[in-house]
Amino acid sequence: MMGFIAPIQPPQAPVRWQKEDTIAFVEKQDLSKGTLYIAESHVAWINPSGQGFNIPYRAITVHAISRDLSSFPHECLYLMIDSDVNNSDDGFEEEEGNEVREIRLVPQDKTMLQSMFEAMSQCQALHPDPDESDNSDPYDQGDEDEEVGEEEGGEEDPEIGIELIVADGGNGDAMDTGQFDDADMGPEH
């Protein structure tokens, strides 16, 4: 966990949303209150001592509002992070064997969740997946006859306590449990 938090500066890129008194949880570990920055280039959280983290949008595979208090005791902006991304230029580093997969951002004022989500959605849209062709339909499954959103079966992810519905080419990225409102499946979807 210590490799995830480092001395950082506030973002230099345009900031679309900023809020003090936002608690960050990494893998359910409370990192205390700090300032959340949703910048056009990345998401940053910095505590009063100047320690924090930067997350590039390409590392965020899912962001959603979570209001399910049975899986986590606070309403929050939930982020699922691709733990394969390791780029020290972004300030996003992980220690060997220490995967960071979930971040929860809890504002003091819960009415801010929707505006946090919308700002993140707008900024993430600025960073489309470079692997997708501009002319390709991201929902095109080739010769398969399945419709987007059609459930072929689900599997429980014990780490986060939600059911993953296999509807995206069998990779299990789509979720359908009602745990998250307004889920956005990142730039690669």
CA dihedral 146, 151, 153, 156 (to 10 degrees): 140
Residue 9 or 141, more confident = 9
Tell me the average pLDDT across 55-76. 94
- Predicted confidence band at 112 (pLDDT cuts at 50, 70, 90)? very high
pLDDT at position 184, please? 61
pLDDT of residue 16: 95
Backbone angles phi and psi of 137, in degrees to 5:
-90, 115
Helical (H) or strand (E) element with 125: helix 113-125
Q: What is the pTM (predicted TM-score) of this model? A: 0.65
Choice between 58 and 148, residue whose per-residue pLDDT is larger: 58
User: What pLDDT, on the 0 to 100 scale, is given for residue 183?
Assistant: 62
Give the residue with greater pLDDT, 94 vs 121: 121
**Structure-model confidence comparison of residues 113 and 131, the more confident one:** 113
pLDDT in tens, 133-181: 454 554 554 444 433 333 334 444 444 443 333 233 333 444 445 555 5
Is-contact 20 35, C-beta < 8 A? yes
What pLDDT score was predicted for residue 4? 77
> What digits encode the pLDDT tens for the residues 75-97?
999 999 987 765 444 444 444 44
Q: What is the pLDDT of residue 26?
A: 94
Q: Is the pLDDT of residue 28 over 70?
A: yes
Residue/partner pairs of 129-136 with CB below 8 Å, 24 or more apart: 129/58, 129/187, 129/188, 129/189, 131/188, 132/188
**Percent of the residues in the chain that have a pLDDT greater than 70, as a whole number:** 59
Nearest to 12 by CA among 48, 37, 47: 37
- Structural domains for the chain: 1-129 (2.30.29.30), 149-181 (no CATH)
